[in-house]
Structure formats: C-alpha cells, structure tokens
Amino acid sequence: MHSQRCYTLSASCPDRVGIVARVASFIAEHQGWILETSHHADSEAGRYFMRIEIKADSLPFHLAEFRQRFQPIADEFHMDWRITDSAVKKRLVILVSKQEHCLYDLLARWQSRELDVEIPCVISNHDTFRGFVEWHGIPFHHVPVTPENKRAAFAEIRRLFEEVKGDAMVLARYMQILPSDLCQAYPGRIINIHHSFLPSFVGARPYHQAYQRGVKLIGATCHYVTAELDAGPIIEQDTVRIDHGDSVEDLVRYGKDIEKTVLARGVRYHVEDRVLLNGNRTVVFR
C-alpha cells in the first residue's frame, strides 16, 4: 500500500477484448494517476480480474462521483466491482477463544500501525483476555457459547458486529463453528486461521492428526469462512518442515508461529483490497 492517499478499484468480469483499454482510458480522460496495477485472466473460468490504485488527488471528483461515472463501463462489461479510499480505515472485529498468540500478534501490528485498521471491539466466548484487550483501549465483549444458547449467542455477535459497523470479522483462533446463516450474511468478510495446510486435516486437533499421519510438513491456512467447515476460499498459506523427532507439542509450538504470520498476511491482503473471489478460489494481487 502506498503511503499517499489512493483509491483502489477492484473488479472482475467475463473475459473479453478491450477491458483494460476501456478502464485505463476512463482514468486517463479524468487525469487519473495510476500508482499500481495488477491483472489476471482465468482462461478456465473465462473471467478477468483487475486491481488498480489511483492517486486520489489526481482526480477532479470524489468517490461518489467516480462510482456514478464508472457505472456505465461496469454495466457494459458486466463487472463485479468496488472502489475504496485508503483514507477510510477498514473496521475489523476480532473473535478469539482461549489461545492468545494470534490476538497478541494482531494487536501488536495494529498498535505499531503496521496493520492500518480500526478495531472497534474484540468478542470472545471466554473472559480470559478482557484485561489485555481493554489495556489497549479496545472494548471487550464476553459472549459465552453453550449448546443451549448458541442461537442467541451468535445473534448477539451479529448484533455487535452491525452496531460497530464492522467491515470484516477476524477469527483469531476462535474455536466455535459459526452457523450457516452468519456465514451467508457476510460472504468474503469473515476471515479464519486454520491450523493446518488445508485441505489436509480439517476440523479439530489437526496437529495431532498430522503427527499420527507422520507428515514431514505442517502448515496454516487463512481463508474466508463459508457454511462448509474449513472449506472456504483460501487467501494465504505457509508451511514448516518437521521430522520424526518432533513431538505433538513441538508441532503445536511451530504451528503457532506460522498461524500468526499467515493470518497477518491474509488480513493485510484483505484490508488492502488485494483479494478477489473466484468461485471457491481467490485471486490475490500481492
């Protein structure tokens, strides 16, 4: 992300001749200064993807007028598109359970402004991290989840998310399965870190599954949440090599380091509008 204020145009559409020329001409006609551009054609799906950063003060109008003027082009090419302003920070609501490493890492990056977002609140099904979160000046909400109150608990999480006008939920080792209606309400807006190299070892205790299987690599996966468990579009992954001398406890310890970095990268790609959905896959313009 450039330090100067920019507008980021992200779009996908059926692939055809003339897309780039039409969009670039529109920007040039209005004296727009392109800072960065990325493109990808998926020949199998027949779709085209683009991401363009435009110097904000090079245009003679603001976003509302940009949207109005650009809409005929979007209609012509049947685009799914959005444009965002780097001056408007994304609002991330973090959900966490009883493991601290991803929460600690995200808050450290937020405090140092490496992760340039707003965190309007943290929600947890345990009260463990209240003091730590509130020390950062962030509201903390304890929403217990039991077999008896799940519907009400997730309704409260949804209410809180809407109340603070959240842009995305980040599940920082939140160890509850979200109901399908919540997943469907926010497609491409709920980000999870799963402690395995998906699609291997879905569900609970993946490091134990990996140990029993005798794998030589373990990993972590940042992905969007869908109604199907651990099967949403993948944003980022990484691995570390292990060997026969490593215990389950070693795998867990190694894995925590990967989880933190993979989640941080995935969140950053999301907030910088670098991720475009392509069915159950993603296009990530790094």
pTM score, whole prediction: 0.95
- Give 91-284's CATH code, choosing from 3.40.50.1980, 3.40.50.170, 3.20.20.70, 3.40.50.460: 3.40.50.170
Q: How confident is the model over 215-242, as pLDDT tens digits?
A: 999 999 999 999 998 899 999 999 999 9
Q: Do 94 and 106 contact (CB within 8 A), yes or no? A: yes
Scanning the chain, the segments in alpha helix (DSSP H) are 19-29, 63-77, 101-111, 130-135, 150-163, 180-185, 206-213, 248-271
Q: What angle do CA 248, 251, 256 make, to 5 degrees?
A: 130
Going by C-alpha positions, the residue among 79, 116, 119, 122 that lies closest to residue 97 is 122
Sheet holding 47-55, edge to edge: 34-42, 47-55, 6-14, 80-85
Q: Distance from CA of residue 189 to its chain's centroid?
A: 7
Average pLDDT (182-206) is: 92
**pLDDT above 80: residue 1:** no
Q: Is 181 a catalytic residue?
A: no
Q: How confident is the model over 49-68, as pLDDT tens digits?
A: 999 999 999 999 999 999 99
**pLDDT above 70: residue 10:** yes
Around Cβ 185, how many Cβ atoms within 10 Å? Answer: 14
Average pLDDT (37-48) is: 97
**pLDDT above 80: residue 2:** no
For the chain, the average pLDDT equals 96
Average pLDDT (152-166) is: 98
Which pLDDT score, from 0 to 100, does residue 260 have? 97
Which pLDDT score, from 0 to 100, does residue 200 have? 86
Per-residue DSSP letter, 101: H
Going by C-alpha positions, the residue among 89, 236, 55, 230 that lies closest to residue 165 is 89
CA atoms within 13 A on the CB side of 58: 16
The CATH code belonging to domain 6-85 is 3.30.70.260
Domain boundaries, the chain: 6-85, 91-284
Task: Enter the tokens of residue 242.
Answer: 């292990």
**pLDDT above 80: residue 30:** yes
From the candidates 230, 238, 243, 246, which is the catalytic residue?
A: 230
Share of the chain above pLDDT 90, in %: 94
